[in-house]
Structure formats: C-alpha cells, structure tokens
C-alpha cells in the first residue's frame, strides 16, 4: 500500500505551522573575533509550503535549519513558528540531519520508533520503513546497513513523528540517483498528505526544482538571501518538463555555470 | 594462521622478558600466601614456603587453617560485613557522580565552571585529614538530633561515597565530554526529556567509564581498614579481622595466609570479570 493511502487510513494530520524569520543574524565565536554566518535573514514560510534552501557550502544553510529547530539561538532577530517564538529545542519541528545520527545500539526499526515519539502505531512505522525501502532490515543495527540505507532510515525516523515543520538537511545526498528520485516523491507524498511545512537544504538544482514551491538562494557566508525563486508548476511535476528549463538555466547561471 | 605469523612478528624479546620478570616479582607474595595457607602450623613454622614448593611430598598439607579462620575467627561473617559495606559504598557514589557529571557536561547553568573547579579541587583533601572534623560533626549531629551515623553501616557508606565523589565526577565528566553530542541533539529533537536522555543514552554509552570506576572504588573499599574500623567496629570487616590475626603470631602464619586468601577471592573475581573495562575505561576520557 502506498504511503499516502496508509496515512489516509491512519487519519494522520499535523497541526499546520508557519515559520517566520525576522531579520535573523547568527555569529559564532567570541565577541571581537566573531564570524557572521547569517545576516539579516527575513523569510516567511506559509503552513504547508515547501521551501528549498540552495547555496554554496559553508554559507550557513545547516545553521539556518538549526535556528528554526531551536538547536541554536539567533544572535539577533527572532524565529517564530505559528506565531510563537522559538526559544529552546522545539518539538514542533522534526529534523533529518545531514548525517543519519541513528542510535548505534538500536535496530533500524527501533530508531524509527524513537522518531515516532511513542504516539504512532506500529503499522505507520512499518509503512514508513517499507516506503523508504527498508522492509526486511527492521532488525538490523545501523552499522550493518549501508550509508544510503542509514540515511533512508534517518528519513523515516524524521517523518515518523509527523511534525508540523519538517527540516531536512541534504537528506538525499548519500543516495544513488534512482533512489533519490523515489525518496523525493515520498517526501512530497507525506508532506501533502499531512500538511506539514517543509524546509529542505540541497545542493542539487534539479531536486530543488522538483520539490520546491519557492527556492531560497543564499549568498556567500554572511551575505544573506541572494534571491527567492518561485516555482509555479502544478504537481505532480514532470522532471523533464520544458517549462522548468528557463528556471534551471537561471539558477545554474547564479552559480556561475552557463549552459 | 595469519594471526600467528603476526604474533611472531610482533614478538619483542626484551619487552616479554621484562614483563615475565615483573609478573614474577609481583606474584611471589601471593604464591607464598597460597602455599602457606595449606600448611600445618608446625611445618609453616619450621621451614619456608619456597622449600615446601620444591619438596611437596615431604610436607604435611592441610585445610586446618581455613577451618580455623572460618570457625574460630568467623571469617565468613566478616566476609558478609565487608560485602555489606562495599556494595552500597560503590553504587552510591557512582549514582550521584553520574548525575552530577551529566549536569556538568550537558546542562548549562550559572556558575558551572566554578562548581566544577571546586569539586576537582576537593580531590586533594586526604581522607585522613578530614576524618577528625567529620567525626566531630557527626557527634554534634547525634547530640542535636539523636541520629547516629557513627557505628553504623550507613555512616561508612556515606564516608566512602563522599570521599569518592570528586574523582568519580571528574572521571565521568571527562568521559561524557567525548560522547557524541549529535546523538543527544537528535534525541532532544525527537522529544526526549533530560531524564530520558540520561537513562537511555548517556548511561548506556558511559558503561566503560562507569565500570572502571566501579572496580576501582569497590577494590578500594574492600581493602579499606580505617573507615571500617571507625564506623563499623561492632561488625568487624575482613581487614579488621586480618589485623587481629596478625597479632596472634603464636597461632602461626598459616591462619593469616588462609584469611588473606579468603579476602582475596572477591577482588580477583571482580578484576578478572571486568578487566577489559578497567584497561579501556580509565584511559578513555583522560586522553584527548
Ligand atoms: N557551532 C559552530 N561554531 C563555530 N562555527 C560554526 C558552528 N557551526 C557552523 N559554523 C560555521 O558556520 C559556517 C556555516 O556552517 P553551515 O551552516 O554548516 O554551512 P552549510 O550547511 O551551508 O554548509 C561555517 O563556516 C562553519 O564553520
Ligand atoms: Mg550543512
């Protein structure tokens, strides 16, 4: 049974949540010799919207996600989810980290159960494991599966809590090209079915074009948002749709590649 | 086969000879005790134990010494007393130190560095120096409240725990600093409370450090004489008994040897059962 149907049967809905960043800045290091990683970031993500962050490495994409999740505190400005300011670690957010971060002594399945926060049925966990292609590996320990499988397990764990805001940091980077496409569609299915707000970081322009309602392009470290591109194509999207080509060229040009 | 070749290649004559020599020197007293414990009073008095090793058939061997210390000196009762002192005196400081080290490592609160510095500084206070003031304090408490900690097992537990805490907190915190913060973050995001993170993540991951400190503390308490003598003199522990046996040379060395051997059993078992933690744990967290 496809994941969307399982979710419909299980009647899972999340409290839709908007995310708002107000002139957010973040510096690291001691006063005097601190480095401004993010400056003057203002962004509103509507409830249920999919926003993709794109930018050169080291520009602060992960830091931005951590600020929304409450894993870091903004040096200036404020982060609000659904009108409430984020002060500490915020459990309205689910995070899929850049690394799998599975608990090494727990099985793949138990790791996903941890992400489910105890509230969800075992059917949902099983459906998620099937959806990420890990049926049959439930009882394996993280070190017994490949890097890509671990990353998919981490994705399942992030999804299993059905958080209002899903934050994903290059979640598909370690996957082979084909699996990556499947996982992208899985993410869209879950987001659509549950109404979750998604903020995703990627390096892959095609991935951004396939997933995003809006693409936020960050400049070099400390330079803030360079550009916001709206991707106004109906879903499900055809990856090779000619209408996407001008956007792709525009984005490639931003990163200095001229087709 | 490969392993064997590797072993042969790694073999270093000098190192091996040195190790054998050291092990030999360190084992001599223990072997002496063991041999003496099985001799009779007369033969123990008339010849050295090494002579007995070289001429085992001309000797009289017996279990009489064990029988004597177990019946006349109630070594078994003392064995139980020592156990009753040592187990809580090991568990108690480890529990408290684990909580403290956890807070010092992962929870931010005002004055954290200062508190930690004070705790570490307390390591230099020797037990012997603090003993008299502490006993006076406990007397005062008894006069004020009627609660007597002197002459009781809980008093000994508290003393051992208190003096073990600074080192325990220090070792455990150093170890916990090396635990992967990323996993703790992930658990926090998944909604785990500080309490759950402690029990489900930090404690299981700290097993090597916990185990090595447990062995260390257990052996220390097991061999302690001073605190047991002051706090539980009415329930004599084994070290206390052995000292008294030493005073009875007239009864022969074999009794002391047998008593010592009985008191050695538990440390040996503990050490061999947990030695893999001992080697790994004490160095883990201490080297960067
Ligand atoms: N905890 C931290 N302490 C100091 N510097 C940090 C910390 N986290 C990130 N940085 C710095 O912030 C910059 C952006 O990091 P990051 O957000 O991980 O970039 P990205 O995910 O876009 O590649 C980097 O230069 C990094 O060195
Ligand atoms: Mg990153």
Q: Are B69 and B79 in contact (CB under 8 A)?
A: no
Is the model's pLDDT at A154 over the cut of 70? Answer: yes
Classify residue B152: in a domain, yes or no: yes
CATH of the domain at A46: 3.40.50.300
Question: Are residues B263 and B203 located together in one domain of the fold?
Answer: yes
* Same-domain status, B51 and B92: no
B78 with B97, same domain: the answer is yes
Q: Domain boundary residue among B11, B44, B62?
A: B62
Domain that holds residue B22: 1-62
Whether residue A27 has pLDDT greater than 70: yes
Per-residue pLDDT, A133: 93
Q: How far is the CA of A38 from the centre of ligand 1 (A)?
A: 10
B236 and B108 in a common domain: yes
Q: What is the pLDDT of residues B192-210, one digit of tens each?
A: 889 999 998 899 889 888 9
Residue at which a domain ends, from B35, B62, B89 = B62
Assigned domain for A112 exists: yes
Atom of ligand 1 lying closest to residue A56 CA: 22
Interface residues on A facing B, Cβ-Cβ cutoff 8 A: 69, 71, 89, 91, 93-95, 97, 99, 101, 103, 105, 114-115, 117, 157, 161
pLDDT at B63: 86
State whether B70 and B145 are in the same domain.
Answer: yes
Q: Which pLDDT belongs to residue B285?
A: 44
With CB atoms and an 8 Å threshold, state whether B186 touches A101. Answer: yes
For residue A61, give the 3-state DSSP assignment.
Answer: helix
Cα(B217)–Cα(B90) distance, integer angstroms:
6
Helix, coil or strand: residue A23:
strand
Q: Does residue B288 carry a pLDDT above 60?
A: no
CATH number for the domain spanning B73: value is 1.10.3720.10
Whether A56 has a pLDDT exceeding 60, the answer reads yes
Co-location of B209 and B252 in the same domain: yes
- Chain A residue numbers with beta carbons less than 8 Å from the beta carbon of B192 are 114
Which pLDDT band holds residue B287 (cuts at 50, 70, 90)? very low
Q: Is residue B248 part of a domain?
A: yes
Ligand sitting nearest the alpha carbon of A33: 1
**A259 is a domain residue:** no
**What percent of chain B lies above the pLDDT cut of 90?**
31
The total number of structural domains in chain B stands at 2
In a domain, A226, yes or no: yes
Report ipTM (2 d.p.): 0.84
Q: In terms of domains, do B12 and B129 share one? A: no
Chains A–B, number of C-beta pairs less than 8 Å apart: 33
Under a CB-based contact definition with an 8 Å cutoff, are residues A94 and A169 in contact?
no
Instruction: Report the number of distinct structural domains present in chain A.
Output: 1
pLDDT above 70 covers what percent of chain A? 98
Tell me the residue range of the domain where A199 lies: 3-254
Q: Which of B22, B40, B62 is the last residue of a domain?
A: B62
Between B109 and B281, residue with greater pLDDT? B109
Please identify every residue whose CB atom is under 5 Å from ligand 2, which is an ion.
Answer: A 62
- Per DSSP, the three-state class of A25 is strand
Confidence bin at B279 (pLDDT 50/70/90) = low
Decide if pLDDT at A6 tops 90.
no
In a domain, A250, yes or no: yes
Mean pLDDT of B128-141: 89
Please state the rounded mean pLDDT for residues A11-29. Answer: 89
Is B202 a member of any domain? yes
pLDDT over 60 at A99, yes or no: yes
What long-range pairs does A35-40 form, CB within 8 A, spacing at least 24? Answer: A35/A221, A35/A222, A36/A221, A36/A222, A37/A63, A37/A221, A37/A222, A38/A63, A38/A64, A38/A67, A38/A222, A38/A224, A39/A222, A39/A223, A39/A224, A40/A77, A40/A224
State the Cα–Cα distance between residues B79 and B120, nearest whole angstrom.
34
Give a yes or no: residue B288 inside a domain: no
In this structure, is residue A43 part of a structural domain? yes
Same domain, B11 and B152: no
Confidence of residue B250 (pLDDT cuts 50, 70, 90): low
Same domain, B53 and B78: no
C-alpha of residue A58 to centroid of ligand 2, in Å = 7
For A56-92, b/e burial (b = at least 16 CB within 10 A) is eeebbbbbbbbbbbbbbebbebebbbeeeebeeebbb
* Residue in the block written with tokens 């993170």: B197
- State residue B278's pLDDT score: 65
Is B136 found in the same domain as B81?
A: yes
If one residue of A55, A62, A201 were mutated to test the ligand 1 pocket, choosing by the most ligand atoms within 8 A of its CB, it would be A62
- Does residue B272 surpass a pLDDT of 70? yes
Tell me the average pLDDT of chain B: 86
B129 and B12 belong to one structural domain: no
Neighbours of A169 (CB within 10 A): 22
Reported confidence tier of residue B147, pLDDT bands at 50, 70, 90: confident
Q: Which residues of A touch B182 (CB under 8 A)?
A: 97, 99, 101
Q: Shortest Cα distance from B188 to chain A (angstroms)?
A: 7
């Amino acid at each position: 049974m496809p994941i969307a149907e399982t979710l419909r049967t299980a009647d899972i809905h999340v409290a839709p949540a908007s995310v708002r960043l107000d002139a957010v800045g973040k510096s690291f290091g001691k006063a005097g010799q601190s480095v401004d990683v993010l400056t003057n970031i203002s962004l509103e993500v509507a409830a249920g919207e999919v926003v993709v962050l794109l930018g050169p490495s080291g520009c602060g994409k992960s830091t931005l996600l951590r600020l929304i999740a409450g894993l870091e505190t903004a040096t200036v400005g404020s982060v609000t989810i659904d009108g409430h300011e984020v002060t500490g670690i915020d459990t309205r957010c689910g995070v899929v980290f850049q690394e799998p971060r599975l608990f090494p002594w727990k099985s793949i399945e138990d790791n996903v159960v941890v992400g489910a926060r105890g509230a969800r049925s075992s059917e949902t966990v099983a459906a998620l494991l099937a959806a990420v292609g890990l049926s049959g590996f439930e009882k394996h320990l993280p070190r017994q599966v490949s890097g890509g499988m671990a990353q998919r397990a981490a994705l399942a764990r992030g999804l299993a809590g059905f958080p209002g805001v899903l934050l994903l940091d290059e979640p598909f980077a370690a996957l082979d090209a084909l699996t990556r496409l499947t996982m992208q569609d899985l993410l869209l299915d879950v987001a659509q079915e549950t109404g979750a707000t998604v903020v995703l970081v990627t390096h892959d322009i095609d991935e951004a074009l396939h997933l995003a309602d809006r693409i936020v392009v960050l400049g070099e470290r400390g330079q803030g948002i360079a550009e916001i591109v709206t991707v106004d194509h109906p879903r499900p999207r055809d990856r090779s749709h000619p209408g996407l080509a001008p956007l792709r060229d525009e984005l490639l040009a931003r990163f200095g590649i001229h087709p | 086969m490969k392993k064997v070749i590797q072993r042969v290649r790694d073999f270093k004559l000098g190192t091996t000879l040195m190790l054998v020599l050291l092990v030999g020197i360190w084992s001599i007293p223990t072997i002496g005790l063991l041999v003496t414990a099985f001799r009779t009073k007369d033969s123990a008095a008339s010849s050295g134990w090494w002579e007995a090793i070289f001429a085992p058939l001309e000797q009289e061997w017996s279990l009489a010494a064990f029988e004597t210390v177990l019946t006349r000196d109630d070594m078994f009762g003392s064995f139980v007393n020592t156990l009753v002192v040592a187990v809580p005196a090991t568990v108690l400081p480890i529990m408290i130190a684990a909580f403290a080290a956890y807070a010092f490592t992962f929870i931010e609160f005002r004055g954290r560095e200062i508190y930690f510095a004070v705790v570490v500084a307390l390591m230099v206070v020797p037990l012997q120096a603090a003993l008299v003031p502490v006993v006076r304090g406990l007397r005062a408490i008894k006069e004020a409240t009627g609660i007597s900690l002197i002459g009781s097992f809980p008093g000994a537990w508290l003393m051992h725990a208190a003096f073990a805490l600074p080192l325990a907190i220090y070792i455990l915190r150093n170890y916990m600093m090396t635990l992967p913060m990323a996993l703790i973050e992930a658990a926090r995001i998944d909604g785990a409370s500080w309490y759950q993170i402690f029990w489900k993540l930090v404690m299981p991951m700290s097993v090597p450090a916990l185990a090595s400190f447990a062995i260390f503390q257990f052996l220390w308490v097991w061999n302690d004489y001073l605190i047991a003598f002051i706090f539980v003199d009415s329930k004599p522990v084994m070290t206390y008994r052995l000292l008294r046996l030493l005073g009875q040379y007239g009864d022969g060395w074999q009794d002391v040897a047998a008593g010592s051997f009985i008191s050695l059993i538990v440390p040996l078992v503990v050490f061999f059962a947990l030695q893999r933690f001992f080697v790994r744990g004490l160095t883990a967290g201490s080297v960067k």
